[in-house]
Amino acid sequence: MDRESYNVQTVVIGAGVVGLAIARELALSGREVLVLEAGPRFGEGISSRNSEVIHAGIYYPADSLKAAFCVRGRQLLYEYCASRKIGHRKCGKWIVATNDRQAARLEAIARQAEANGVHLQQFSGDAIRAQCPDLRASGALWSSQTGIVDSHGLMLSLLGELEDAGGRLVLNSPVLSAESSGNGHRLEIGGDASVTLLAGEVVNAAGLGAPTLAQNWRGLPASSRPEQWYARGVYFSYSGRQPFDQLIYPLPEPGGLGVHLTLDLAGQARFGPDVEWVEVEDYTVDPNRLQAFVEGIRQWWPSLDASKLQPAYAGIRPKLAGPDGGFADFRIDGPGVHGLAGLVHLFGIESPGLTSSLAIADYVKGQLG
């Protein structure tokens, strides 16, 4: 029996923070927008498994999309959160060096940040002790532009504005496969809907699922079907009081920014994420990772009470380069890349994707013309 088919102007696949930001932007530009989400709720993919940090834009190469979108997205996000009363706090962060060898790397980080338009203040070990007696460091950088955000509140607001502009979110509707041709894009939907959609414009913002979907996309050139790796990061929460009021980051490590202390808006601390390359999407937090956390944190907070650390949650970074691959930028393949009008695929939207979401949305709208 033939499946029922419907026409729709614009489809966004994936209801994470990036998909919702794009859908809202497109709906506000007057399009009829449908968001298709595989799961039973929105925002339960990578967007609910992160540090909720509004990044300043420090570490990324100056000519990268990550640098441009992080800096622009951060400005847009602070304005958006302030105007919609979404929970956020520009609390600032310390980047700490715990020995002289690391202290020498601070200079290079400060230069990279400056090239991205982000000014960091340098502090000596003594100056830090005066500011933050519990912190042990031989030098540090202070980032005043870093903050935290209620990511669920942000997604709720984006969804509300999408719906106010006439857009719709449809849950339990995985896109199984697609075909693009000169006549538009044909999407086969499974789950509750189980229909065929014919769309003039499609944005693939399926997070970890985006490359798999691209593999099942007839008409898309092989060069627009990237390989993806998973880098899991786990978090431990800290019960009880702790002495810090700002975020604290060690120096970045391959694959991530290092196990850092981040705060939620109630002041509760959590530590993470570490980096573990995995083959499958598995969110188990192995309690045995605790010892490595304790050793890492004690480098800069010697009086940590390890008995207050509890396994919390895990997130998985969608990586476009493997363990030895070095830096990989966000990848946003629009018509200029694959030659198919009205189609944009987003790949490798790892950190700072939350911070960048509003800037990415604006860019994707430009790609669709």
Ligand X SMILES: Cc1cc2nc3c(=O)[nH]c(=O)nc-3n(C[C@H](O)[C@H](O)[C@H](O)COP(=O)(O)OP(=O)(O)OC[C@H]3O[C@@H](n4cnc5c(N)ncnc54)[C@H](O)[C@@H]3O)c2cc1C
The contact set with ligand X (CB under 6 A) reads 13-19, 36-39, 44-47, 49-53, 55, 174-175, 205-209, 213, 233, 273, 315-317, 349-355
- Nearest Cα residue to 205 out of 25, 52, 11: 11
Which among 169, 207, 220 is positioned nearest to 347, based on CA atoms?
Answer: 207
Shortest distance in whole angstroms from residue 199 CB to ligand X: 13
The position carrying tokens 């420090």 is 58
Half-sphere exposure of 176 (CA within 13 A, CB side): 11
Q: Is residue 309 within 8 Å of residue 296, measured between CB atoms?
A: no
Q: Which two tokens stand for residue 98?
A: 């715990």
Cβ-based neighbour number of residue 240 at 10 Å: 9
What are the distances in angstroms from CA 237 to CA 156, 262, 290, 304, 308?
Answer: 25, 10, 11, 13, 8
Question: Least distance in Å: CB of 319 to ligand X?
Answer: 10
Closest to ligand X by CB, 122 or 177: 177
CB of 209 to ligand X, least distance (A): 3
Query: What is the nearest approach in angstroms of ligand X to the Cβ of residue 261?
Result: 12
Give buried/exposed letters for 242-255 (b at 16+ CB in 10 A, else e).
bebebbbbbbeeeb
Residues contacting 63, CB < 8 A, separation 6+: none
Nearer to ligand X, 232 or 338 (CB): 232
| CB 100 to ligand X: min, Å | 29
Taking the least distance from each CB to ligand X, the nearer of 34 and 46 is: 46
Least CB distance from residue 36 to ligand X, whole Å? Answer: 5
Least Å distance, CB 74 to ligand X, is 9
Min separation Cβ 304 and ligand X, Å: 21
Catalogue the long-range contacts made by 281-286 (C-beta closer than 8 Å, 24 or more residues apart): 281/208, 281/230, 281/316, 282/232, 283/49, 283/232, 283/313, 283/314, 283/315, 283/316, 284/314, 285/234, 285/235, 285/236, 285/311, 285/312, 285/313, 285/314, 286/234, 286/311
Bridge partners of 96, per DSSP, are 140
Q: Which of residues 149 and 368 has its CB atom nearest to ligand X in the complex? A: 149
Angle CA 218–224–229, to nearest 5: 110
Contact 13, 349 (CB under 8 A): no
Nearer to ligand X, 103 or 269 (CB): 269
**Closer of 50 and 224 to ligand X (Cβ):** 50
Residue with nearest beta carbon to ligand X: 353
Please identify, using beta-carbon distances, which residue of 36 and 68 lies nearer to ligand X. Answer: 36
Cβ distance to ligand X smaller for residue 138 or 143: 143
Cβ proximity to ligand X: between 55 and 186 the closer is: 55
Residue 330 CB, nearest approach to ligand X (Å): 9
The 3-state DSSP composition of the chain as helix, strand, coil percent (nearest 5) reads 30, 30, 40
Please give the Cα distance from 349 to 50 (Å, whole number).
12
